[in-house]
Amino acid sequence: MTRYRTLSPPDLRVYLGAHDALGARLGGPHEGWAVREVSDGNLNHVFIVEGPAGAVCCKQSLPHVRVDPDWKMPLTRTDFEARYMRRVAPHVGHLMPALLHFDPDLHLIVMESLHHHHVLRGMLGEATALAGFSARIGEYVAQTAFFTSWRGRPFEQSMADCAAFAGNTTLTRITVDLVLTDPYRAACARNHWMTPELDATVAELQTDAALHASVSHWQERFLGAPQALLHGDLHTGSIMLHGDDVRVIDGEFALMGPIGFDAGLYVGNLLLHAAARRDHATWMADEIETFWRSFTHEYRALWETNPTSGDVGALLDAAGRHQAQAQELAMVMRDLAGFAGMEMIRRTIGYAQVSDYALCSDRTGEKEARLRALTLGRMLITRGRRIETINALLETIEEPGGF
């Protein structure tokens, strides 16, 4: 703590220059390096530093939410992000920026700069993302999930991760409140929505006891089913693209949880985009299908290649394994559906909403887009427990009255 200070651009130059490997990567004397703030998420300072030889990206925790200095927050969140990157890099190193350096006193991550990449959410709006990017995200979820699951490694390693990430309570509390609870509470001042257009729909969401029973189920799944180490915030703003090069960033929400949570947040954000841009709806449905086929193909393949790496399922023969795979993938799909629904609701009426709605042509268009998202979100939350296949998901998405 004593060494912690919020780094200014000149501080950062000096700091990087004092580390040989980082200095060499940038090249030349540190005085000449360009420092550009690119903070985009809600929480942290992010800088790109460029020198004659190359660039790095620096991410530092602030003692508060970046966009709300009154919302105090512990500095350890980059610690969890660095820990997450180290844990999953052996499996998905090519799908993340390389972690170059972590300073636990400054809570500073220095990583490969992705300054040629763009954030997926923006590229969807501009329709510049190369279709099929979701195959890479399917691989990412499969690789991170399988190798950190009870099936992919001895349980002692999973217990160690339970302990290592159990302390990430500040960010987990954000998920529990903002994603899983607040949007359904009438008295919560963090919610905001288009008024008066959405007033009646929001009132319904906040008083429907049957919906709340389903929400309660997803709350319990999130906390009570630590199947694998999750990214924890896998939305289209946490993914960067450059051509067919796909990278996942911002793992500070990492925790042990249900595999379908990462998958569901991703799918939920594709659906939010489709709600805002009707002309992209078919594309997004294709991406969802691509994601699922890629995820399931890869997950099964890893399981087949590592049939007895973990304690769970070590007794199974090939037929038993295939049956267990089918059951597990059905479970992931149920969770995916439910959490996708929760994400759609919270990103439409909760504290942190998606910018996709700014793509709507006018207020009427935006109102319709938001109502579409709320309708589909609610359907996914209440029916999720019965959605077990990609076809069932796609049918729900395309259902009249749904989407």
- For residues 40-99, which are near a copy of itself according to CB under 8 A? none
Task: Report if residue 311 touches a copy of itself, rule: CB under 8 A.
Answer: yes
Question: Six-digit token pair at 388?
Answer: 């077990």
Gap between the Cα atoms of 118 and 132, Å rounded: 16
Range in contact with a copy of itself (rule: CB under 8 A) among 133-141, 309-317, 358-366, 368-376 = 309-317
In the list 317, 361, 362, 401, the residue contacting a copy of itself (rule: CB under 8 A) is 317
Gap between the Cα atoms of 263 and 283, Å rounded: 18
Task: Report if residue 180 touches a copy of itself, rule: CB under 8 A.
Answer: yes
In the list 323, 364, 389, 391, the residue contacting a copy of itself (rule: CB under 8 A) is 323
Shortest Å, Cβ 393 to a copy of itself: 23
Neighbours of 52 (CB within 10 A): 10
Beta bridge partners of 45: 60
Task: Report if residue 386 touches a copy of itself, rule: CB under 8 A.
Answer: no
CA distances from 326 to 296, 300, 330, 351, 389 (A): 10, 9, 6, 37, 10
Task: Report if residue 225 touches a copy of itself, rule: CB under 8 A.
Answer: yes
CA distances from 258 to 109, 185, 214, 236, 264 (A): 27, 24, 16, 19, 10
Gap between the Cα atoms of 271 and 174, Å rounded: 22
C-beta closer to a copy of itself: residue 138 or 226: 226
Gap between the Cα atoms of 87 and 108, Å rounded: 17
Spacing of C-alpha 245 from chain mean position: 18
Binding residues with a copy of itself: total (CB under 8 A): 42
* Single-letter amino acid code for the residue at 312: V
| Binding characters for a copy of itself, 239-278, by CB under 8 A (x = yes) | ----------------------------------------
In 26-156, where do the E strands start and end?
34-37, 45-50, 55-60, 64-65, 68-72, 99-103, 108-112, 118-119
Task: Report if residue 215 touches a copy of itself, rule: CB under 8 A.
Answer: yes
Write the DSSP symbol of residue 103. Answer: E
Shortest Å, Cβ 116 to a copy of itself: 38
In the list 98, 194, 223, 352, the residue contacting a copy of itself (rule: CB under 8 A) is 223
Shortest Å, Cβ 206 to a copy of itself: 9
Query: What residue ranges bind a copy of itself (CB under 8 A)?
Result: 150, 155-156, 158-160, 162-163, 166-167, 169, 172-173, 176, 180-181, 184-185, 209-210, 212-213, 215-216, 219-220, 223-227, 311-317, 319-320, 323-324
